[in-house]
Amino acid sequence: MTAQLLKGRQRAKQLQTELSERFTELAAATGVRPTLAAMQVGGDAAASGYLRAISRACQGVGANFRPVELHEQSSAGDVQAALAELSDDEAVHGIMVLEPLPDHVDDSQLIDRLNPAKDVDGVHPLNAGRLAAQRQPHFVPATPAGAIMLLEEADVAFRGKSAVVIGRSDIVGKPMALLLLHRHCTVTIAHSRTENLPEVARQADILCVAVGRPEMITGEWIKPGAVVVDFGTTYMDGSLKGDCEQGSVEAAAGMLTPVPGGTGPMTNVLLMRNLLDAYRRLVSTPNL
Ligand code: NAP
């Protein structure tokens, strides 16, 4: 068997064109182009790369981008004050806090102070809770939202299927597991303490991997014909690798999101969709 590849790059390009039209219509009707602010503390190379990618995504749809780059040594109080300013600024419609933060800045305390109405990454507990409770409105984190879109558009059947999600981060693993549960999958969440992981993975009709260990999953972990979503993105010897060993997994799976060109390109374009939703909600219901 050779898996059908679910190509996010092409789909993301179409979505970008559609969203770009919606941003232009909004600007024509209101004179406003929504603004996304992204806050980075320190100079982590991956966060700097992500900042540039978000800037390009904003440019691609005609949104404004406001990078807020703070020094690594900024005090926790200064970081909180900068976030509070963005949360209160009426000219800012979406806010992202880029990880990693320096050790002296408590991630959870900071995120608690983020205005949930501008939380386009869906990380504030109010939005995460609304996602868990299936209540609107909420922001679904863009990475799992993009993966679900690829699966739905490929007519993947969810109801009653066994889904295994490896990884339990707030931004990928947990929300992906919830989105699968809401579609009536029987969901197992696996992580670094899971025993017999290959055996657990082999039970999956739908296997989603968000670990960040390149090529950890091989074809023997795959139930023949399974749908495999590879979120992993790690640079190895100058090229981008997923968590799946592409050759053997592609040979065993029925469908696979490739790396590069699978879930990655969908993420930033769906972030732009969340920004547009944030603007609309802020105008209609400023207090979530
Ligand atoms: P993260 O916060 O570091 O979470 C990694 C998860 O993997 C944790 O839950 C961890 O378990 C688990 N894990 C680590 N080693 C493991 C092992 N040997 N066996 C089983 N589970 C293990 O990472 P993340 O932010 O979710 O990102 C995961 C990957 O997705 C990274 O490669 C990242 O670059 C990529 N990513 C891609 C996109 C995209 O657009 N495609 C977006 C975001 C992230 P514990 O909880 O027990 O520690």
Paired strand residues for 228: 207, 256
**Residue 288 pLDDT:** 56
Residue 286 has pLDDT above 70, yes or no: no
- Calpha distance 188→119 (Å, rounded): 27
What is the CB neighbour count within 10 angstroms for residue 121?
24
- Calpha distance 208→67 (Å, rounded): 32
pTM: 0.96
**Residue 236 pLDDT:** 87
Decide which of 138 and 3 is more confident.
3
Residue type, 86: L
Atom of ligand 1 nearest to the CA of 268: 40
Q: Domain segments of the chain: what residues? A: 31-118, 142-263
Mean pLDDT of the chain: 96
For the segment 158-165, the average pLDDT, to the nearest whole number, is 98
Among protein residues, the one whose CA lies closest to atom 34 of ligand 1: 233
Q: At 284, is the pLDDT very low, low, confident or very high (cuts 50, 70, 90)? A: confident
Instruction: Dump pLDDT digits (tens) for 125-154.
Output: 999 999 999 998 789 999 999 999 999 999
131 Cα: distance to centroid of ligand 1 (angstroms):
20
Q: At 283, is the pLDDT very low, low, confident or very high (cuts 50, 70, 90)? A: confident
* HEC assignment per residue over 220-281: HHCCCCCEEEECCCEEECCEEECCECHHHHHHHCCEECCCCCCHHHHHHHHHHHHHHHHHHH
167 Cα: distance to centroid of ligand 1 (angstroms):
5
Q: CB of 178 within 8 A of CB of 40?
A: no
Residue 18 has pLDDT above 70, yes or no: yes
**Residue 8 pLDDT:** 97
- Fold agreement between 31-118 and 142-263: yes
Residue 107 has pLDDT above 90, yes or no: yes
Give the H or E element holding residue 43: none
- Calpha distance 196→190 (Å, rounded): 10
For the segment 67-75, the average pLDDT, to the nearest whole number, is 97
Ligand 1 touching residue 211 (CB < 6 A)? yes
Q: CATH topology for 142-263?
A: Rossmann fold (3.40.50)
**Residue 238 pLDDT:** 86
Ligand 1 touching residue 265 (CB < 6 A)? no
The vertex-216 CA angle with 210 and 218, nearest 5°, equals 110
Superfamily of segment(s) 31-118? Leucine Dehydrogenase, chain A, domain 1 (3.40.50.10860)
Place of tokens 């303490």: 193
Percent of the chain with pLDDT over 90: 94
- What per-residue string of b and e applies to 130-147 under the rule 16 or more CB within 10 Å gives b? bbeeeeeebbbbbbbbbb
For the segment 115-129, the average pLDDT, to the nearest whole number, is 96
Q: At 38, is the pLDDT very low, low, confident or very high (cuts 50, 70, 90)? A: very high
Q: In a mutational test of the pocket of ligand 1, which residue from 170, 189, 231, 243 has the highest number of ligand atoms less than 8 Å from its CB?
A: 231
**Residue 237 pLDDT:** 87
Q: Can you read off the two tokens belonging to residue 149?
A: 């879109």
Residue 1 has pLDDT above 90, yes or no: no
- Calpha distance 277→201 (Å, rounded): 35
What is the CB neighbour count within 10 angstroms for residue 224?
11
284 Cα: distance to centroid of ligand 1 (angstroms):
36
